[in-house]
Amino acid sequence: MNIIRPIRQSDYAALHAIAEESGIGFTSLPVNEGLLRRKIERSEASFIDGVTEPGKESYLFVMENLDSGNVVGTTGIEAAVGLDDAFYHYHVGKVVHASRELNIHNTVDILTFCNDYSGVTEICTLFLREEARGGCNGRFLSKVRFLFMQEHQERFADIVIAEMRGVSDENGRSPFWQWLEEHFFSLDFPTADYLTGIGNKVFIAELMPKYPIYVNLLSPEAQAVIGEVHEKTRPALQLLEQEGFTCRGYVDIFDAGPTVEAQLSNIRTAQASRRLPLEISDDTHENAIDSFIINTSVTDFRAVVNPVFVDEEQQKAYISAAAAAALEVQAGDLIRFAPVRLGDN
């Protein structure tokens, strides 16, 4: 059985291995010991009681296989981005060049440098190791965040975003960044990506073009990848689109990958979730539904995937003894759960 729980200091080696496996373009996990240890420390400090509004909290979870004890994945939430460091994007807009006298009307796409998403909640840092890929593990890592946010809404903003990894090749070359590098930065994509990951963002404000960029002036290769995702990111994007996330024209300033957003109240898994007291039973219930289940704790948060049978008359949720033990809950405690396959509830 796999569980998802808050990261702790003893998970450092596993997190470092995940950072190495994730590769260039996975900005939130640079291969840097000091930064990774600080991320763990910051997360541990965030999983405390008493938080009443979104702030600088950073929640980092890991997926652990209880049989082997191995950490096989990670996923995270930033409660409110852009409070300390500027949070940059390009917004894809349009400008019209028209002359009534000459009967000319041209609409041109432009990229405008902005900080429009400052203060929103960001889901991030989702990576599943090769050994654990399969089944519903990827969806589990993604959707557990929506259950945690729904359960503890006071900790998060109304708007939730996700930055999707843009197009780059196996050597880390981004067609979009290559154009920026040539004209403004003289800094390759892996280096720029790494500097951002370790929190060094001053160079962005210093070197990024201050005025809107006309898209038709970019190289054809750069134009072609604006708003497109890396091939390994397509499944993650599809999952979020199924949850109700959409792109409103914001793209990453390095690789032009899309940023998608949704209101927490409109995210399908959050909407479909229920919060009920539990009963423990290993009896097989014909109407039990495979579900993502979380306890309602913050400091001792746990999540599992297990069938749930709901007694509608008693308003109780039945789960197995093994699931209850993994969740560290007892009969009568509250759990929140949502079906693995939306529409099954």
Residues that are catalytic: 230
Helix (H, G, I), strand (E, B) or coil at 301: coil
Question: Do 223 and 111 form a contact (C-beta atoms < 8 A)?
Answer: no
Which is nearest to 113 in space by CA: 91, 146, 141? 91
- The DSSP call for residue 341 is S
Task: In whole angstroms, give the CA distance from residue 331 to residue 320.
Answer: 11
- CA 171, 58, 80, 35 dihedral sign is negative
What size, in residues, is the chain? 345
Burial class, 335, CB count within 10 angstroms (exposed 0-12 / middle 13-18 / buried 19+): buried
The tokens for 54 are 């979104």
